Amino acid sequence: MIRFTSVAKRYDTGGGPALERISFHVGRGEFVFLTGHSGAGKSTILKLIYAEERPSSGDVRALGFQIPRITADEIPRLRRRLGIVFQDFRLLTDRTAAENIAFALEVTGAREDVIPQRVHRVLEQVGLATKADAFPRELSGGEQQRIAIARALVNDPAVLLADEPTGNLDERATRGVYQLLRDINDSGTVVLMATHNLELVRASGQRIVELRDGTLVFDSAADQEEVS
């Protein structure tokens, strides 16, 4: 599904490389934690997957798209097969929860008559069917993140990318969002979650890819392969 091969990334703004010699592979049905301190390169990896950035060298493949050579026309097609969730939710504040989710369908040209039922389905999936008409300001942080996840899910993505989705949430909401992501993963969607919440990562038993100063220092999957 996703493959990084000797990827390096340098930003034009100067400074050291954001990523160096990164190689890893994420297969079908996996749940992967990307961990590391702030500035380690977690967000850069996610940006390379959804083609917000291009690698300086090396190759990134995501859902069959070759990111270094991806064209402007292909980027929307790639993103329609990905779901993306951020720490700051990125909801439109002047639209209701349902409208925020419907918006993701509308911009991809979905048929008008199927939108309400698909919105309702994902709202139920994230447990917020009763909050369909609420505006983001009327929802708690955890609820806003669930709406953002629902929006990411509404196009039935093959891969869900979550960049610090629990960064702004309290302990209870964090557990709730994590459980939701687990459920999504159980239904077959690949989940790649960037976080520096080590407690959550350690308790999860999921695959861990750890970054430090732009280099990959630990991959539990590779470690297990070595052991076996």
Partner 1 sequence: MKLLWREALLSFSRTRTLSALSVTTIAFALFVTGLFGLVALNLRAALGQIEERVEIVAFVLRGTPSQGLAVAMEDISAFPEVLSVRYVTEEEALAQAKADLVEFRDAYEAVQINPLPPSLELRLKPGYRDAAHVGEVAERLRGFPFIEDVRYGRDWVEKLDRLRTIGGVVGGVIGLAFALVSVVIIGVTIRITVLQRAREISIMRLVGATDWFIRGPFLLEGAIKGLLGGIFAFLLCFAVYALFKAQGLGLGTGLRFFTAIHAVGFLAFGMLLGLGGSLVSVGRHLRKV
Q: How many residues bind partner 1 (CB under 8 A)?
A: 21
Alpha-carbon torsion, ordered 178, 184, 190, 195, to 10 deg: -10
By CB under 8 A, name the one of 94, 156, 170, 199 that touches partner 1: 94
Query: CA–CA separation, 76 vs 27, rounded Å?
Result: 22
| Residue number with CB closer to partner 1 (93 or 130) | 93
Per-residue contact track with partner 1, 143 to 182, x per CB under 8 A? Answer: --------x---x---------------------------
Q: Is 135 in the site for partner 1 (CB under 8 A)?
A: no
Structure tokens at 179: 């459980």
Which member of 13, 69, 73, 228 binds partner 1 (CB under 8 A)? 73
3-state secondary structure of 20: strand
50 near partner 1, judged by CB under 8 A? yes
Block residue for tokens 């930003």: 11
106 binds partner 1, rule: CB under 8 A? yes
Task: Select the span of 3-11, 17-25, 104-112, 218-226 touching partner 1 (CB under 8 A).
Answer: 104-112
- The helix/strand/coil state of 133 is coil
Query: Contact between 54 and partner 1 (CB under 8 A)?
Result: no
Touching partner 1, residues 194-213 (CB under 8 A):
none
DSSP string, 160-209: EEEESTTTTS-HHHHHHHHHHHHHHHHTT-EEEEE---HHHHHHH--EEE
Question: What do you get for the CA distance between the two ends of the chain, in Å?
Answer: 24
| 121 touching partner 1, by CB under 8 A | no
Side chain identity at residue 224, one-letter code = Q
Give the relative orientation of helices 115-125 and 97-106 as an angle to the nearest 10 degrees. Answer: 130
* 76 lines the binding site for partner 1 (CB under 8 A): yes
Residue 77 engages partner 1 in binding (rule: CB under 8 A): yes
Could you list the residues that contact partner 1 (CB under 8 A)?
A: 50, 72-73, 76-80, 84, 90, 92, 94, 103-104, 106-109, 112, 151, 155
